Structure 1
Amino acid sequence: MAVKVSIDTVSILRSALQKGLGAKYKRLAAALDKAIEEGALAAGSKLPPHRLLADQLGVTIGTISRAYAELERLGQVVARVGDGTYVRQDGLQRQRDAGFRNVGDEMPQMFDMSRNTHIPGQETRFIAQSLRALAEDAHALQQISRYGPEAGLARYREAGAHWLTQEGLVADPAQVLCVNGAQHGLHVALLALLKAGDTLATEQLTYPGLISTARMLGIKLVGLPMDEQGLLPQALDEACQQHRISALYCTPTLQNPTATVQPVARREALVEVCRRHNLLILEDETHAVLMDRRPAPLAHFAPERTLLISGLSKALAAGLRVGFVHAPQPLVGRLAAALRATCWMATPLPLELAAGWIASGLAERLRQQQMAEIARRKGRVAGLLEGLDWRSPDGCPHFWIKVAEPWRASEIEEQLRRQHYWVATAEAFAVGQAAVPQFIRASVCNTSVDDQRLLEGFALLAAALKQEGGVADW
Structure 2
Amino acid sequence: MPAVSEIKFKQIARTIESRIRDGVYPPNTKLPPHRVLAEELQTTPVTVAKAYKLLSEQNQVESFVGRGTFVCGESRLSSVIQSSDDEDVYNFSILQPCLSHHLPALQNAIRQSASQLTSQLIGYAENSGHERHRQTGIRWASEYGLEPGTTHNTLLTSGAQNALAVLVESLTKPGDTIAVETLTYPGILAIASLKRRHVVGVQMDEHGMIPEHLQQSIEQHHPKLVITVPSHQNPTGITMPEERRIQIADIIRQHHIWLVEDDIYGFLNEKPIPAICNWLPEQGFHVTSLSKAICPALRCGFIKAPSSQVATVSAHIRTDIWLSSPLNFIIAEELIHSGQAFELAERQRLLAAERQAIAKQYLPETTTPGQGYHLWLPLPSGWQQERFAMEAQNHRILVSSGSYFDTQQSCNHIRLSLTAIHSGKKFREGMEKLNQLLHADPATVLSYQTNPF
1:79-116 Cα deviation digits (max 9, x unpaired): xxxxxxxxxxxxxxxxx843234666665542210111
Q: Report what 1:320 is aligned to.
A: 298
Structure 1 segment 336-375 matched on structure 2, within 5 A = 336-375=314-353
Give the TM-score taking structure 1 as reference length. 0.74
Does residue 1:426 correspond to 2:384, yes or no? no
Deviation at 1:418, TM superposition (A): 1.7
Deviation at 1:471, TM superposition (A): 4.3
Q: Report what 2:366 is aligned to.
A: 389
The residue matched to 2:375 in structure 1 has which SS? strand
Does residue 1:455 correspond to 2:428, yes or no? yes
AA at the equivalent of 1:366? L
Deviation at 1:136, TM superposition (A): 3.2
AA at the equivalent of 1:391? T
CA distance in 2, matches of 1:32, 1:190: 23
Q: Report what 1:287 is aligned to.
A: 265
Structure 2 unaligned residues grouped into runs of 5+: 1-14, 27-73, 446-451
1:171-213 Cα deviation digits (max 9, x unpaired): 1223211111111111111122211121110011111111112
Structure 1 segment 260-339 matched on structure 2, within 5 A = 260-339=238-317
Quick one: percent identity of the two aligned structures?
A: 25
Contact 1:283 1:308 in 2 (8 A): yes
Contact 1:259 1:392 in 2 (8 A): yes
CA distance in 2, matches of 1:269, 1:134: 43
Deviation at 1:313, TM superposition (A): 0.7
CA distance in 1, matches of 2:213, 2:315: 33
1:306-337 Cα deviation digits (max 9, x unpaired): 11100001111110111101111111111111
CA distance in 1, matches of 2:443, 2:136: 51
Flag the 1:99–1:136 CA change in 2: closer, same or farther, 3 A: closer
CA distance in 2, matches of 1:260, 1:252: 8
AA at the equivalent of 1:246? K
Contact 1:179 1:324 in 2 (8 A): yes
CA distance in 2, matches of 1:212, 1:331: 24
Flag the 1:420–1:28 CA change in 2: closer, same or farther, 3 A: closer
Structure 1 unaligned residues grouped into runs of 5+: 1-18, 21-25, 34-95
Contact 2:134 2:156 in 1 (8 A): yes
Question: What root-mean-square deviation, in Å, do the aligned CA atoms of Structure 1 and Structure 2 show?
Answer: 2.7
Q: Report what 2:126 is aligned to.
A: 149
AA at the equivalent of 2:148? A
CA distance in 2, matches of 1:301, 1:159: 23
Contact 1:253 1:294 in 2 (8 A): no
Flag the 1:385–1:335 CA change in 2: closer, same or farther, 3 A: same
Deviation at 1:299, TM superposition (A): 0.9
Q: Report what 1:414 is aligned to.
A: 390
Does residue 1:440 correspond to 2:414, yes or no? yes
The residue matched to 1:218 in structure 2 has which SS? coil
Flag the 1:347–1:167 CA change in 2: closer, same or farther, 3 A: closer
CA distance in 1, matches of 2:412, 2:211: 23
Moved more, 198-207 or 128-137: 128-137
CA distance in 2, matches of 1:116, 1:442: 9
Q: Report what 2:219 is aligned to.
A: 241
Contact 2:145 2:272 in 1 (8 A): no
Contact 1:322 1:350 in 2 (8 A): yes
The residue matched to 1:145 in structure 2 has which SS? coil
Q: Report what 2:65 is aligned to.
A: none
AA at the equivalent of 2:398? W
Flag the 1:470–1:298 CA change in 2: closer, same or farther, 3 A: same
Does residue 1:180 correspond to 2:158, yes or no? yes
Structure 1 segment 209-228 matched on structure 2, within 5 A = 209-228=187-206
Does residue 1:134 correspond to 2:113, yes or no? yes
CA distance in 1, matches of 2:22, 2:194: 24
Deviation at 1:119, TM superposition (A): 1.0
The residue matched to 1:324 in structure 2 has which SS? strand
Contact 2:229 2:262 in 1 (8 A): yes
Q: Report what 1:400 is aligned to.
A: 376
Q: Report what 2:228 is aligned to.
A: 250
CA distance in 2, matches of 1:266, 1:442: 26
Contact 1:150 1:346 in 2 (8 A): no
Does residue 1:472 correspond to 2:440, yes or no? no
The residue matched to 2:78 in structure 1 has which SS? coil
CA distance in 1, matches of 2:219, 2:147: 34
Does residue 1:171 correspond to 2:148, yes or no? yes
AA at the equivalent of 1:463? Q
Q: Report what 2:137 is aligned to.
A: 160
Deviation at 1:287, TM superposition (A): 1.8
Structure 1 segment 53-72 matched on structure 2, within 5 A = none
Structure 1 segment 197-212 matched on structure 2, within 5 A = 197-212=175-190
Flag the 1:361–1:412 CA change in 2: closer, same or farther, 3 A: same
Flag the 1:311–1:212 CA change in 2: closer, same or farther, 3 A: same
CA distance in 1, matches of 2:86, 2:186: 22
1:323-354 Cα deviation digits (max 9, x unpaired): 10111111111111111011111110010110
CA distance in 2, matches of 1:333, 1:393: 40
Contact 1:411 1:471 in 2 (8 A): no
Q: Report what 1:111 is aligned to.
A: 90
Contact 1:400 1:442 in 2 (8 A): yes
AA at the equivalent of 2:111? R
CA distance in 2, matches of 1:398, 1:235: 26
The residue matched to 1:262 in structure 2 has which SS? coil
Contact 1:185 1:309 in 2 (8 A): yes
CA distance in 1, matches of 2:87, 2:220: 48
